[in-house]
Amino acid sequence: MRTMKNSAAPFDFRFERDGAGYIVSGPFGPALRLTPAEFRLFGAGKVKEGSVLFRRLEAAGLLRGRLDFEAEAARARGLSAGVYGGPGLHILVLTLKCNHACVYCRATAGGAGKNSDMSRATARKSVDTAFASPNNKLSLEFQGGEALLNWPVLRDTVLYAKKKNLKAGKDLALSVVTNLSLMDEDKFNFLVKEGVSVCTSLDGPARLHDANRRWSGGSSHAKAVHWLKRFAAAAGRDGRADTLPSALMTTTRLSLADPRGIVDEYRKLGLGGIFLRPLSPIGYAGGAWPEIGYGPEEFLGFYRAALAYIMAVNGAGEKFVERNAALLARKMLRAEDPNFLDLRSPCGAAIGQLAYNFNGDVYTCDEGRMAAACGDELFRLGSVRAGRFEDLMTAPAARLCAMASCLESQPYCARCAFKPFCGVCPVHNYSVQGSPWGNIPGGSWCALQKGMFKTVFALLEKKKTRKIIEGWLEKGAAV
Ligand code: SF4
Ligand code: SF4
């Protein structure tokens, strides 16, 4: 075996071709761009000691003879800080019924005509299960269908969880995901009083939002905007930043033509930022893909255009965050875990979150529950009606997801320059490719992640845009 004894011998590295050069990283980042000539010198262990390139490689932990083990350990700890805490996010599906017929979700079809409301007893058992998690930071998220269609149980569960927490003393956050069409003064007052934050969907301007989110009762957009403003005003009045309402955007094929209009809608409402997410082909959206889906390159074109516009907006003095870019930057610049469960190794399935279906069945995550709604129970962990928390956490589906999403066990990812910051989704792989491990190099997940990493990495290389993104990561920024 040939060994390199000089101080420029490369340490365990991975690389990615990008344009004419290479992006290179060590096991825990950071990533570095090298020209082809620099890459050849680095790979051959022939970088001159003391040169600028040598110092760059040394600082990035890429030289075997110049490793700072403390720094490497700190980076490893930072990037996987959330992996060991136990599930913190608990999603309670209060009903499958919905009064909307959104193009990417067929919850109505799934729930109509069935008794698909979560009972009070099941909701309380779900809360008990959530409190059994060792994680001291608990987030209970009420979802549907349309969660407000099961208002009595939502109300009861909020009070039950808060009472339970008087003894448990956890850092408890409560939120409801709702289309806001059924909001009224009583519900509003209760949610504000109890500190339950509201998250709604906002796909863009009225024309786009209402085309995606069809509602026979009128304009879904008008309702969402009206109540978003009311909740924002209440949070401002009470000085409660933790209960500021938030909005989530789903990108359909229709969205691709209007990146500016979508960003402007979020700016107009004073939401402070936007999370530009590609459409997930899991569950019902998979069935509607021919109508609303698109390829990775189409999304990336949209993403780059929106991000360029957001940079211009920030450059003109308005702080407006793109949360996807911010979370990738947090990993690449600071080696911190932004607690985004879908981009972690291993991912947050079971070990970071649990999804409780209306009937008490528990799944690895909401996406695992959505796969079950389409008839496949692979990601079911058990039920709140039987078994202990420990049984859920050691169920085969929990172990399967942890193994399949551990990037060290994904041969293609293990060699990728973005591996220190990335993650893969076993439910996505299973839905699209028929196996939780999937075929990463041939899949849309990787194409999307790689494209977004390259886009954000390029922005971090430019002084002006890097400064903007660093500003997004300052304390208090919602990332
Ligand atoms: S399986 Fe997929 S959706 Fe579920 S937590 Fe993991 S990455 Fe997220
Ligand atoms: S999914 Fe793609 S971008 Fe992410 S680590 Fe794997 S190979 Fe790299």
Strand segments, DSSP code E, in 202-324 are: 246-248, 273-274, 321-322
| Region for residue 31 given its phi and psi (left: phi exceeds 0; alpha: psi -120 to 50; beta: otherwise) | beta
Domain that holds residue 34: 14-79
Pocket test of ligand 1: the residue of 365, 406, 431 to mutate, having most ligand atoms within 8 Å of its CB, is 365
Q: Closest residue (by CA) to atom 2 of ligand 1?
A: 425
Nearest ligand, CA 15 = 2
Is residue 461 in a domain? yes
What sign for the dihedral angle of Cα 220, 221, 222, 226?
Answer: positive
Stretch 191-218: mean pLDDT = 95
User: Is residue 72, in this structure, part of any structural domain at all?
Assistant: yes
Domain membership flag for residue 119: no
131 C-beta neighbours (distance < 10 Å), count: 19
Comparing 386 with 384, which gets the higher pLDDT?
Answer: 384
Residue nearest to atom 1 of ligand 2 (CA): 446
Indicate whether 60 belongs to any domain: yes
Last residue of a domain, one of 53, 79, 105: 79
**Residue 287's pLDDT band (cuts 50, 70, 90):** confident
pLDDT of residue 113: 52
Which H helix or E strand runs over 142?
A: strand 137-143
pLDDT score recorded for residue 476: 55
Residue 318 falls within a domain, yes or no?
Answer: yes
For ligand 2, the distance from its centroid to the CA atom of residue 302, given in whole angstroms, is 20
Q: Among 39, 61, 79, which residue terminates a domain?
A: 79
Atom of ligand 2 nearest to the CA of 416: 8
What's the CA gap between 423 and 439, in Å, rounded? 14
Phi, psi of 124 (to 5 degrees): -65, -40
Q: What is the pLDDT of residue 114?
A: 61
pLDDT at 109 (0 to 100):
45
Residue 421 forms part of a structural domain = yes
Evaluate if residue 107 carries a pLDDT over 70.
no
- Separation between Cα atoms, residue 324 and residue 312, nearest integer Å: 17
Q: What pLDDT digit, counting tens, does each position of 116-153 carry?
A: 999 999 999 999 999 999 999 999 999 999 999 999 99
In a domain, 474, yes or no: yes
What are the tokens at 109? 């079809």
User: Coil, strand, or helix at residue 253?
Assistant: helix
| Range 47-67 average pLDDT | 95
Looking at residue 1, what is its pLDDT?
43
Q: Is the pLDDT reported for residue 106 higher than 90? A: no
Q: Which of 143, 138, 118, 117 is nearest to 128 (CA)?
A: 138
For ligand 1, atom 5, name the residue with the nearest CA: 349
For ligand 2, atom 7, name the residue with the nearest CA: 413
Token digits for 318? 């308005």
Ligand 2 mean position, distance from CA 451 (Å) = 10
CA–centroid distance, 374 to ligand 2, in Å, is 27
Q: Ligand 1 test: best mutation among 91, 279, 341, 399, most atoms within 8 Å of CB?
A: 341
pLDDT for 115 equals 85
> At 176, is the pLDDT very low, low, confident or very high (cuts 50, 70, 90)?
very high
pLDDT for the residue numbered 108: 45
Asked, for residue 118, whether it belongs to a domain, the answer is no
Count: domains in the chain: 2
Ligand 2 neighbour 440 (Cβ under 6 A): yes
d(CA 198, CA 143): 11
| pTM (2 d.p.) | 0.94
Residue 156: pLDDT above 90? yes
Ligand 1 within 6 A of 343 CB? no
Q: What is the pLDDT of residue 8?
A: 86
422 lines ligand 2 (CB under 6 A): yes
pLDDT digits (tens, 9 = 90+) for 60-71: 999 999 999 999
Whole-angstrom Cα distance, residue 258 to residue 293? 16
- The domain boundary, picked from 59, 79, 99, lies at 79
